[in-house]
Amino acid sequence: MNLPLWLYYVIGFPLLLGPLVTIHELGHYLVGRWFGVHAEAFSVGFGKEIWGFTDRRGTRWKLSALPLGGYVQFKGDMNPASIPDPEAVINATDDERAGSFHHAALWKRALIVFAGPATNILLTLAIFASFFAFYGKPVPADAEQQLAVAEFAEISPARAAGIEIGDRIVAVEGERMTDFRDVQDAIMLYPGRTLDITVERDGAEQIFAVPVRSVEMEDRFGNMSKIGLIGIASGASAFEFEPQGVVASLGLAVDHSIGIVDMMITGIGQIFTGERSVQELGGPVKIAKFSGEQLSLGGMAFINFVALISLNLAFINLLPIPALDGGHLAFYAAEAVRRKPVGPRGTEVAYRAGMALVLMLMVFVTINDLVHLPIFGN
Whole-angstrom CA distances from 200 to 4, 161, 211 are 50, 15, 19
C-beta separation of 45 from 72 below 8 A: no
Please list, in sequence order, all residues whose beta carbon lies within 8 angstroms of the beta carbon of residue 218, skipping any fewer than 6 positions away: 224
Residue 25 CA, distance from chain mean position: 17
25 is catalytic: yes
CA 216 to chain CA centroid, nearest Å: 23
To the nearest 10°, report the CA torsion of 277, 278, 280, 285.
-160
| Maximum alpha-carbon separation in the chain | 80
Could you tell me if residue 105 is left (phi over 0), alpha (psi between -120 and 50 degrees) or otherwise beta? beta
Q: Is the dihedral of CA 191, 194, 198, 199 positive or negative?
A: positive
Residues 6+ apart with CB under 8 A from 60: 40, 41, 42, 52, 53, 54
**Which residues are marked as active site?**
25
